């Protein structure tokens, strides 16, 4: 059974995109080489062998630590029970979760009657059960030098694009030209860090294009 390097597991409410408001269990995987300057989970970037903990130690820690632990799917399902989690929706996030082969994890979660969402930058091939909901938050021209892959673009159920400037809309337009089922995919614009100018740009563009606005609502109410 595949073992995953995990930064944290917690239960909260999904604050962004199509599942906004849905009680969810978050599995945050460790590791990401994409290098977004405004990343709010930089503590997940590196898998430092000296930072490995046991699952029990990691679950007792505060969030935003660069510690990590390993778990396979059965361990995670046991952890959900131990923690008395009630949510039936699981969000696999990061870091960049698609650095991992997620077939074992997504198969196991779906078999246990959870719905599964994967949040990815699109820069690594998605290897997961096809019933997983794919949230693509495309990271374009970041310092890691990774490209958004066609495979992820075609699998995406929603594209949640971070915006601060009009060039970000242009980048999304260029990306969508490669999208083969654009009628079926939900498009969200998400203002970066809730900046005023970014929010105004996102609102006016959503109205003009009939796209949707995604706000990081968890940040407004001070939850993770």
Closer residue to ligand SF4, CB minimum distance, 15 or 95? 95
Which residue in the set 13, 18, 39, 186 belongs to the binding site for ligand SF4 (CB under 6 A)? 39
Picking from 27, 8, 35, 5, the residue whose alpha carbon sits closest to that of residue 89 is 27
- Decide: helix, strand or coil at residue 93: strand
Q: Tokens 């949640």: give the residue.
A: 160
Which one of 2-10, 38-46, 71-79, 99-107 is the stretch in contact with ligand SF4 (CB under 6 A)?
38-46
Closer residue to ligand SF4, CB minimum distance, 39 or 55? 39
Which one of 72-80, 93-101, 168-176, 195-203 is the stretch in contact with ligand SF4 (CB under 6 A)?
93-101
Total binding residues toward ligand SF4, as defined by CB under 6 A: 12
Closer residue to ligand SF4, CB minimum distance, 80 or 100? 100
Helices (H) and strands (E) in the chain — how many of each?
7, 9
Q: Does 31 bind ligand SF4 (CB under 6 A)?
A: no
| Nearest-angstrom CA–CA distance, 104 and 189 | 31
Q: Does 35 bind ligand SF4 (CB under 6 A)?
A: yes
Which residue in the set 15, 17, 95, 104 belongs to the binding site for ligand SF4 (CB under 6 A)? 95
- Contact positions with ligand SF4 (CB under 6 A) in 159-218: none
Which residue in the set 5, 12, 13, 41 belongs to the binding site for ligand SF4 (CB under 6 A)? 41
Which pair of structure tokens corresponds to residue 187?
A: 């498009």
CB of residue 88 vs ligand SF4: minimum separation in angstroms? 25
Residues contacting residue 135 through CB under 8 Å, at least 6 positions apart: 17, 18, 117, 118, 119, 120, 156, 157, 158, 160
CB of residue 134 vs ligand SF4: minimum separation in angstroms? 15
CB of residue 190 vs ligand SF4: minimum separation in angstroms? 11
- Decide: helix, strand or coil at residue 137: coil
Region of 205 on the Ramachandran plot (φ > 0 left; ψ -120 to 50 alpha; else beta): alpha
Residue pair 22/77 in contact by the 8 Å Cβ criterion: no
Question: Which positions lie near ligand SF4, rule CB under 6 A?
Answer: 32, 34-36, 39, 41, 44, 94-96, 121, 139
């Amino acid at each position: 059974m595949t073992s995953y390097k995990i930064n944290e597991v917690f239960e909260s409410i999904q604050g962004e995109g199509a599942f906004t408001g849905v009680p969810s269990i978050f599995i945050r995987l460790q590791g990401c080489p994409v290098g977004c300057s405004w990343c709010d989970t930089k503590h997940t970037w590196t898998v430092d062998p000296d930072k490995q903990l046991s699952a029990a130690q990691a679950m007792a820690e505060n969030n935003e630590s660069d510690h990590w632990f390993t778990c396979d799917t059965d361990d995670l399902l046991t952890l959900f029970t131990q923690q008395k989690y009630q949510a039936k929706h699981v969000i696999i996030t990061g870091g960049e979760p698609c650095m991992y082969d997620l077939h074992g994890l997504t198969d196991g979660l779906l078999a246990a009657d959870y719905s599964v969402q994967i949040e990815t930058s699109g820069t690594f091939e998605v290897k997961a059960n096809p019933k997983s909901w794919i949230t693509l938050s495309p990271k374009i021209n970041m310092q890691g030098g990774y490209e958004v892959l066609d495979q992820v673009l075609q699998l995406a159920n929603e594209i949640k694009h971070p915006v601060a400037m009009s060039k970000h809309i242009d980048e999304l337009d260029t990306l969508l030209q490669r999208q083969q089922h654009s009628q079926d995919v939900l498009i969200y614009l998400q203002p970066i860090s809730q900046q005023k100018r970014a929010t105004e740009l996102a609102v006016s563009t959503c109205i003009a294009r009939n796209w949707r606005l995604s706000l990081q609502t968890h940040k407004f109410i001070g939850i993770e």
